[in-house]
Amino acid sequence: MVEIVPIDTPTLGDRSYFVSDGEVAFVVDPQRDIDRVLALAQERQVPVVDVFETHIHNDYVTGGLALARATGAAYHVNAADSVAFEHDAVADGDVIQVGERMRVRVLATPGHTFTHLAYVLDVPDRAPAVFTGGSLLYGSTGRPDLLGPAHTQELVTAQFGSAHRLARELPDEAAIFPTHGFGSFCSATQSRAEASTIGREKRVNPALVLEEKAYVETLLAGLDAYPAYYVHMGPANSAGPEAPDLSEPHRADATELRRRIEAGEWVVDLRNRTAFAAGHMAGTLNFGLDGSFATYLGWLVPWGTPLTLLGETPDDVAAAQRELVRIGIDRPAASATGGPGRWAAGERPASFPRASFDELASVRHHRPVVVLDVRRAAEWEQSHIDGAVHIPLQDLPQRLDEVPEGEVWVHCQGGYRAAVAASFLAAAGRRVVAVDDRYDADGLSGLPVVAAAA
């Protein structure tokens, strides 16, 4: 019996896959922290003999090369990809025998990238399974704009053709196992589905239910910003990433932490936004581990800036390290554990208030305040509070001087990004209130909303 085990990385919105027939195993699109894969192989007492990459990834650093070296597995990468490491070059139509029972067919599915591949698993007495990477996703497709605007039109057209090729060549009962689509910005849209088949996608996927022109126009119109660190992922993956170093970073005392802050380095508090607002070391930035920590930190940090991680426990720091190596931030400059009293050692902790949208509506009746919306452009265009200032979170560090004078009430869609923004504003010496509430245009009593035309 063949077992397909998804390996979720929810903070990046991706899945890798561990596939075993009980005798041997192969892996598709492994993340950088390969110890998760090795643990599965050890639990099942099977060797990993093949590793497959669907494409040169744009949203994370692959663990494929490190896993192949650790296990002795063959590492399958598109022959058309220019990479700097030894690998087994594969191309459309190739068939790889994995153990005695599993056969993997290679299908060219360009669109997310020019050299994107899908892998079809054929096993006797069961329907095929297809690992679609960033091609056909649950109710969507991978976005075609990550290689730059000059290539977007060609790639979105290719993506449409690839989706139809999969639908044409595979039976309706074939199960689909995509890498993206679970929150990754590599997906054109997101889905709540946890499983799907070719037959289901024929009924619900825009790439398969719309005419090509309508699909292309709809997909392109819905694309929004993606994390700035993506530009570093392709080169890192083409060079061949080594296994990450997850050993404990150097421990900093209070004097060193203050020196690093004053030097302009990033000292990042990993606690949740409630704890940070209640008390933190002045000048620190809040990227809580309870949200999309690596995505937003990687998006905002100037690449190469030394990072110091502050966690309540060593496990918090270790969890942050694991998240960061997945996007190529390999070694923190330093770390500290405990809380603001220990980190600041004699300094008075800084703090700022949290509030709801109801409280924002109430305070606007009594005094003028600056309302800062840090959501992305597509969210703002759909609806926003009348009179608000719009600076997307990813732009805020470079545009702090554009925030009007006065008390700033900052909000996003659910509270996480507002907390990040509030920490930047507080570090810059601004009076700030973090709106820790869910934005619902229909439920903002007392706040005038500007909505997009129907």
User: What CATH number corresponds to the domain at position 178?
Assistant: 3.60.15.10
pTM of the full predicted structure? 0.93
Tokens matching residue 259 = 């020196």
Domain endpoint, select from 282, 310, 344? 344
Residues 226 and 271 in one domain: no
Distance CA 117, CA 53 (A): 8
Work out the number of other CB atoms within 10 angstroms of the CB of residue 446: 11
Distance CA 56, CA 117 (A): 10
| Residues 221, 442, 273, 303, Cα dihedral to 10° | 10
Residue 249 lies in a domain: no
Domain endpoint, select from 285, 320, 344? 344
In this prediction, residue 73 carries a pLDDT of 98
Residues 275 and 381 in one domain: no
Nearest Cα to 2, choosing from 97, 129, 164, 110? 129
In this prediction, residue 453 carries a pLDDT of 67
In this prediction, residue 454 carries a pLDDT of 58
Domain endpoint, select from 298, 319, 344? 344
Residues 296 and 445 in one domain: no
Residue 306 lies in a domain: yes
E-strand stretches of 223-369: 266-269, 285-286, 307-311, 334-337, 354-355
Give the β-pairing of 383-385 and 285-286.
unpaired
> Angle at which helices 212-222 and 149-169 pack, to 10 degrees?
130
Question: Could you tell me the CATH number of the domain that includes residue 263?
Answer: 3.40.250.10
Work out the number of other CB atoms within 10 angstroms of the CB of residue 195: 10
Residues 89 and 117 in one domain: yes
What's the number of domains the chain is made of? 3
Distance CA 392, CA 396 (A): 6
In this prediction, residue 188 carries a pLDDT of 60
> What range does the domain containing 340 cover?
254-344
Residues 129 and 147 in one domain: yes
Q: Which residues of the chain have pLDDT under 50?
A: none
Residue 94 lies in a domain: yes
Residue 48 lies in a domain: yes
Nearest Cα to 186, choosing from 236, 131, 229, 143? 143
Residues 328 and 418 in one domain: no
* Amino acid in position 44: R
Residues 288 and 434 in one domain: no
Strands of the sheet with 389-390, listed across from one edge: 354-355, 432-435, 408-411, 370-373, 389-390
Residues 14 and 95 in one domain: yes
Residues 278 and 322 in one domain: yes
Residue 11 lies in a domain: yes
Number of alpha carbons in the 13 Å side-chain half-sphere of residue 411: 27
> What is the tens place of the pLDDT at every residue in 84-124?
999 999 999 999 999 999 999 999 999 999 999 999 999 99
In this prediction, residue 190 carries a pLDDT of 64
Residues 379 and 265 in one domain: no
